[in-house]
Amino acid sequence: MGAGFAGIGFAIKLTQRGVRYALIERGASVGGTWRDNTYPGAACDVPSLLYCFSFAPNPDWSRSYPLQAEIRAYLENCVERYGLGPNLRLGNGVAAARFDQARSLWQLNLDDGSQLLARVLIIATGGLSRPKLPQIAGLEDFKGALMHSARWDAKVPLAGRRVGVIGTGASAVQIVPAIVDQVSQLSVFQRSAPWIVRKADRPVSAAARARNRRRPFRQRWRRALLDWAFDLRVLPFTRLRASLPLIEPIVALKRRLEVPDAALRRALKPDYRVGCKRVLLSNDYYPALGRPHVDLVTSPIDRIVADGVRCADGQLRALDVLVLATGFYGAEQGPPFPIEGRDGRALDRVWAGGGEAYLGTAVGGFPNLFLLSGPNTGLGHHSVIAMLEAQFGYLIGALDWLAARPGAVLEVRAESQQQHQRWLDARLARSVWNQGGCKSWYLTDSGRNTTLWPRSVRAYRRALARFDPVQYKTSVGVPQSPQQ
Ligand code: NAP
């Protein structure tokens, strides 16, 4: 389920192994988050070299940090290059999934009313697909144009208009500098200030791209080096948390240099440890806020009214366009559609207190179901594609095991899952994400971190290097033939 980075990458692996599969996507095209997020300035804050599959390198990145349109084009190209088309079903999502115990098959009800049977169900629907609207009174009263960053409407004119942006996360810091030159007045509503570091972004010359094509090993070793260097960055967020107060003044130097106005600089000072929320990369966000027609509003929003936003300071910021860069349902997110496992277990009830999965991939009570980008597999220091690739290898191991045993079922043992969860919770309890004095989308309302992996990518690769059936209850059923 899901033809974003996870689904496409795994479909390549399945195609290469000759596995019969369907890649089901509710949208009309592939690309997942990189299809949906088309706001001005949308780009990735992970270097291009790490933001593609190691088995499908891209010599043609135009910049050292890729742009949304080229990441989307890369994924579309992967579909073509690896011949995924015949297995791809676009424009028809899964409405509900139920494990049929008698037949040991997953029964999928699709949006168009049709049904599908599958031996194995793989959820690759991602964590950033459901835009979160802010809980602000009067949102429905606004009479101007209102849009969430992930549902950008390019037809809404911005030129010469008064625009408001609510939020100062990864999306907002890209939108604000991208639109600042067009608008007549820009109000940025900040609830908490982000930590921002330099983005070492530069164009990749045509000559360098040609070299990449001629000598692919050049990109391979540079990627290996970057992979290793980036992985070290997990240490200050976890084991070496004590180093963060030493790092903060260095990061703050950028603010000093780029924000000459002392009052604005004070307003932009984060009140939590660096790394607690995602550290943002930008070279033009601070300069944009310093422009005369830009207003950083730190007074809390009181309510939204027909012609703008009223804040606790009593002022009305009159607006023509209001952008909600308010993020996604993350940590508290349940499954993407109702999923019923063994003995009528509903995944949303099992996950009511936050998502849990053995190694982020398997959930007790849900046989032959696996997750890509499942709970606690996100990163704050490296590329999530590195995590996906580890999951691909592990899942292929599980599928090989199943392929050798027609009709058999794999269900992760409750003890294995609980032991993994205890280990995760203990590790995360000491991390900056849990202890850094902030509330982020990494945490559930009750403060559980169900989003991030607390160690290096290397450690995750080691944990998933080999599929170990000992961690699973296995049963050999009657061989069935799933139809497609
Ligand atoms: P986000 O990080 O969740 O930020 C949401 C922003 O909206 C925060 O500043 C939040 O304030 C603010 N907000 C939410 N509700 C509000 C309310 N009721 N009143 C005022 N402010 C409110 O969302 P995002 O920027 O869309 O990013 C989400 C994730 O997407 C990122 O962490 C990242 O993983 C991914 N992303 C990645 C890239 C990339 O370059 N790779 C780019 C964009 C997004 P508080 O901070 O006070 O909660």
Q: What pLDDT was estimated at residue 472? A: 98
Ligand 1: which residue has its CA nearest to atom 2?
Answer: 169
How far, in Å, from the CA of 326 to the mean position of ligand 1? Answer: 5
Q: What pLDDT was estimated at residue 484? A: 41
Burial 320-355 (b: 16+ CB within 10 A, else e): bbbbbbbbbebbbbbbbbebbbeeeebbeebbeebb
Distances in Å between the alpha carbon of 195 and those of 78, 143, 199, 227? 34, 33, 13, 23
How far, in Å, from the CA of 199 to the mean position of ligand 1? Answer: 18
Separation between Cα atoms, residue 42 and residue 44, nearest integer Å: 7
How far, in Å, from the CA of 328 to the mean position of ligand 1? Answer: 7
Residue 467 has pLDDT above 90, yes or no: yes
pLDDT tens track for 255-288:
999 999 999 999 999 999 999 999 999 999 999 9
How far, in Å, from the CA of 473 to the mean position of ligand 1? Answer: 40
How far, in Å, from the CA of 172 to the mean position of ligand 1? Answer: 7
pLDDT tens track for 49-72:
999 999 999 999 999 999 999 999
Q: Which amino acid is at 311?
A: C
The atom number, within ligand 1, closest to the CA of 46 reads: 41
DSSP-based three-state secondary structure for 62? coil
Is the distance from CB of 30 to CB of 82 less than 8 angstroms?
A: no
Ligand 1: which residue has its CA nearest to atom 24?
Answer: 327
- Give one word for 41, left, alpha or beta, with left for phi > 0 and alpha for psi -120 to 50: left
261 contact partners, CB below 8 Å, separation of at least 6:
290
How far, in Å, from the CA of 159 to the mean position of ligand 1? Answer: 25
Element (H, E) at 309: strand 308-311
pLDDT band at 476 (very low <50, low <70, confident <90, very high): confident
pTM of the predicted protein model = 0.96
The atom number, within ligand 1, closest to the CA of 326 reads: 7
Q: Give the mean pLDDT of 353-374.
A: 97
Burial 177-197 (b: 16+ CB within 10 A, else e): bbbbeebebbbbbbebbbbbb
pLDDT band at 398 (very low <50, low <70, confident <90, very high): very high
How far, in Å, from the CA of 107 to the mean position of ligand 1? Answer: 36
Residues with CB under 6 A from ligand 1: 43-46, 128, 134-136, 149, 166-172, 189, 191-192, 278, 301, 325-328, 441
Residue 80 has pLDDT above 60, yes or no: yes
Q: What pLDDT was estimated at residue 127? A: 85
pLDDT band at 482 (very low <50, low <70, confident <90, very high): low
Separation between Cα atoms, residue 293 and residue 161, nearest integer Å: 11
Separation between Cα atoms, residue 451 and residue 436, nearest integer Å: 16
Residue 401 has pLDDT above 70, yes or no: yes
Ligand 1: which residue has its CA nearest to atom 26?
Answer: 327
pLDDT tens track for 105-118:
999 999 999 999 99
Residue 332 has pLDDT above 50, yes or no: yes
CA geometry: angle 306, 311, 314, nearest 5 deg: 100
How far, in Å, from the CA of 451 to the mean position of ligand 1? Answer: 14
Is the distance from CB of 64 to CB of 51 less than 8 angstroms?
A: no
Residue 317 has pLDDT above 60, yes or no: yes
How far, in Å, from the CA of 368 to the mean position of ligand 1? Answer: 34
Q: Within 13 Å of residue 155, how many CA atoms lie on the same side as its CB?
A: 0
Distances in Å between the alpha carbon of 165 and those of 169, 171, 308? 11, 10, 11
CATH level 3 topology of 139-194+235-324: FAD/NAD(P)-binding domain (3.50.50)
The atom number, within ligand 1, closest to the CA of 281 reads: 40
Ligand 1: which residue has its CA nearest to atom 31?
Answer: 170
How far, in Å, from the CA of 217 to the mean position of ligand 1? Answer: 37
How far, in Å, from the CA of 13 to the mean position of ligand 1? Answer: 32
In angstroms, what is the C-alpha Rg of the chain? 23
The atom number, within ligand 1, closest to the CA of 150 reads: 26
Q: What is the mean pLDDT of the chain?
A: 96
440 contact partners, CB below 8 Å, separation of at least 6:
276, 277, 278, 433
Ligand 1: which residue has its CA nearest to atom 12?
Answer: 167
Residue 439 has pLDDT above 70, yes or no: yes
pLDDT tens track for 82-134:
999 999 999 999 999 999 999 999 999 999 999 999 999 999 999 888 999 99
Q: What pLDDT was estimated at residue 480? A: 61
Q: Within 13 Å of residue 158, how many CA atoms lie on the same side as its CB?
A: 22
For the domain spanning 5-130+330-476, the CATH number is 3.50.50.60
The atom number, within ligand 1, closest to the CA of 278 reads: 32
Ligand 1: which residue has its CA nearest to atom 17?
Answer: 134
Separation between Cα atoms, residue 434 and residue 217, nearest integer Å: 40
Separation between Cα atoms, residue 234 and residue 224, nearest integer Å: 17
Element (H, E) at 99: strand 94-100
Ligand 1: which residue has its CA nearest to atom 35?
Answer: 170
| Residue intervals in the chain for CATH 3.50.50.60 | 5-130+330-476, 139-194+235-324
The total of other beta-carbon atoms located within 10 Å of residue 366's CB is 25
Which two tokens mark 157?
């004119």
Q: Give the mean pLDDT of 288-297.
A: 98
Residue 477 has pLDDT above 90, yes or no: no
Is the distance from CB of 331 to CB of 166 less than 8 angstroms?
A: no
Q: What pLDDT was estimated at residue 475? A: 84
Share of the chain above pLDDT 90, in %: 95
Mutate to test the pocket of ligand 1, among 165, 271, 302, 326 (most ligand atoms within 8 A of CB): 326
How far, in Å, from the CA of 169 to the mean position of ligand 1? Answer: 4
Burial 118-140 (b: 16+ CB within 10 A, else e): bbbbbbbbbbbbebbebebeeee
Is the distance from CB of 227 to CB of 57 less than 8 angstroms?
A: no
Mutate to test the pocket of ligand 1, among 5, 33, 171, 278 (most ligand atoms within 8 A of CB): 171
Q: What pLDDT was estimated at residue 334? A: 76
Using CA atoms in the order 471, 475, 481, 484, what is the torsion angle rounded to 10 degrees?
Answer: -30
Distances in Å between the alpha carbon of 156 and those of 145, 149, 163, 293? 7, 13, 11, 20
pLDDT band at 336 (very low <50, low <70, confident <90, very high): confident
Ligand 1: which residue has its CA nearest to atom 3?
Answer: 327
Separation between Cα atoms, residue 482 and residue 104, nearest integer Å: 10
How far, in Å, from the CA of 324 to the mean position of ligand 1? Answer: 9
* DSSP-assigned letter for residue 446: T
How far, in Å, from the CA of 173 to the mean position of ligand 1? Answer: 9
116 contact partners, CB below 8 Å, separation of at least 6:
22, 24, 107, 108, 110, 483, 484
Q: Give the mean pLDDT of 226-247.
A: 97
Of the candidates 279, 199, 204, the residue with the CA atom closest to the CA atom of residue 49 = 204
Ligand 1: which residue has its CA nearest to atom 18?
Answer: 134
Of the candidates 123, 119, 122, the residue with the CA atom closest to the CA atom of residue 477 = 119
Q: What DSSP assignment string belongs to 261-283?
A: -HHHHHHT--SS-TTSSPPEE-S
Ligand 1: which residue has its CA nearest to atom 46?
Answer: 192
Ligand 1: which residue has its CA nearest to atom 48?
Answer: 440
Residue 196 CA, distance from chain mean position = 19
Residue 335 has pLDDT above 90, yes or no: no
